Amino acid sequence: MAEIILKNVSKVYDNSVTAVRDVNLEIKDHEFMVLVGPSGCGKSTTLRMIAGLEDISSGTISVADKIVNDVQPKDRNLAMVFQNYALYPHMTVYENMAFGLKLRHFPKNEIDARVKEAAATLGLEPYLDRYPKALSGGQRQRVAVGRAIVRKPAAFLFDEPLSNLDAKMRVQMRTEVSLLHKKLGTTMIYVTHDQVEAMTMGSRICVMKDGEVQQIDTPLAIYDSPCNLFVAGFIGMPPMNFFDGTVENKDGSFFFVGKAFSFPLIKPEWKDKLAAAVGRKVVFGVRPEDIGSPSAMLVKDAPTLSGSLKVKEPMGAETYLYLDDTAAERFIAKVDPHMVAEVGQSMTLPVNPAKVHVFDAESTNLIV
């Protein structure tokens, strides 16, 4: 059990690529922290620095109040699960899991007890005598997880552990890892580029881009108030709709004025911030599920967005409508699957006015 703290951590590779820039991150004991971001944003590098597999160019990393910059990976008491499992091919499932304990000179019966317990937790009992090559991807990943949990480390590090699995297996393992975290209560740091994994698993999420931390918060806080355009567009599927325009003040009421429509910005607590933004170029953001959705329909006197329907994607539980407004700005609405809509038709859909966002176009930061 341990707190992991990164202070002003940067990483410059030999080829002078700055992979990670000035990262500050406090991972509390028992926390499930997810590092998420697009490919190449420095997630793996950050995780590998925590593990000790990569030198830290500047800054400090501490585990359980001890600075570990110069501590060997083997002495950091962390366990890591790799994307392509990294199981020892010449060892059986049992030996793979027992390896770390053997190296630490645990007594035989203790090793046996721990391996058996992990195998039971992960449903690996029938496979203990098999070699990794005789296992499916999901089973291999379980062994990799088992190898990590038998050691009872201070924290678990996961680097995209599910990305080699098929979609169904991924969903199942996602739940299993979450359950495991509940059961063990050990600190976990989990790297993924999949925002769904981030949302569903994390106690908190750290969104990264180009080696820099964008926002650290709980999944819902990030979803509801993304700190900038990048986070807003990255978290959420389908992504948030964006429209360029300006903020205007008409007789004390604020409006977003875009190319095709204007939209009232009604929340009283927004007033001060909006007043400061009047006349500035902004980006207006609405999530697809706040346009024409059952919940948006319930809002009294809701403002609307109009467009002509270009594509309709029924997903089963909901339907995605791809619409173009009169300025040919494409936006997506997530609507009830039974809503009547024909491609080519023009539609006017209610929007929940309390859920919209305005970003500064220049700094890309959230205004409201």
Partner 1 sequence: MSNSKTFRGVNYHPYAPWLFLTPYIIIALTFFLYPLIYAGWLSFHQTDGPHSAVFVGLDNFKFIFSDPSFYKALKNTTIYAIASICIQLPLSLGLAILLNNSQSKLKNLFRLLIFSPNLVGQIFVGVLFSVIFTPRYGIFNIGIEKLIHWGLDTQWLSKPGLIMPALIIVSLWMYVGYNMIYFLAALQTVDKQLVEAAQIDGASPWQVFLHVTLPQIRPVAVFVVIMSTIGSYQLFELPFALLKSSFGVDQAGLTIVGYLYDNAFNSGDLGTGAAIGWILAFIIFVISIIQLRATNSPEDK
Instruction: Give me the residues that bind partner 1 (CB under 8 A), please.
Output: 51-53, 72-74, 76, 78-80, 82, 84, 86-90, 99-100, 103-104, 131, 133, 147, 151
Which residue in 41, 111, 122, 335 binds ligand ATP (CB under 6 A)? Answer: 41
115 sits near ligand ATP (criterion: CB under 6 A) = no
CB 258 within 8 A of CB 284: yes
Query: Which CB atom, from 133 or from 168, has the smaller least distance to partner 1?
Result: 133
Of these partners, Mg ion, partner 1, ligand ATP, none, which one is at the site of residue 151 (CB under 5 to 8 Å by kind)? partner 1
Site residues for ligand ATP, 174-233, by CB under 6 A, read: 193
C-beta of 141: minimal distance to ligand ATP in Å?
A: 17
Site residues for Mg ion, 33-92, by CB under 5 A, read: 44
235 sits near ligand ATP (criterion: CB under 6 A) = no
Distance, CA of 59 to CA of 9 (rounded, Å): 4
Parallel, antiparallel, or unpaired: how do β-strands 212-217 and 18-27 relate? unpaired
Residue nearest to ligand ATP (CB): 44
Distance, CA of 241 to CA of 264 (rounded, Å): 16
CB 166 within 8 A of CB 141: no
The residue assigned the tokens 């341990």 is 2
109 sits near ligand ATP (criterion: CB under 6 A) = no
CA triple 58-59-60, angle to 5 deg: 130
The residue assigned the tokens 């997810």 is 34
Which residue in 6, 9, 23, 44 binds ligand ATP (CB under 6 A)? Answer: 44
C-beta of 146: minimal distance to ligand ATP in Å?
A: 24
Of these partners, partner 1, ligand ATP, Mg ion, none, which one is at the site of residue 45 (CB under 5 to 8 Å by kind)? ligand ATP
34 sits near ligand ATP (criterion: CB under 6 A) = no
CA 150 to chain centre: 27
Q: What is the DSSP letter of 195?
A: H
Bridge partners of 78? 155
Distance, CA of 246 to CA of 285 (rounded, Å): 12
Residue partners of 344: CB distance under 8 A and separation at least 6 = 308, 309
Binding site for Mg ion (CB under 5 A): 44
Binding site for ligand ATP (CB under 6 A): 13, 15, 17, 19, 37, 39-45, 193
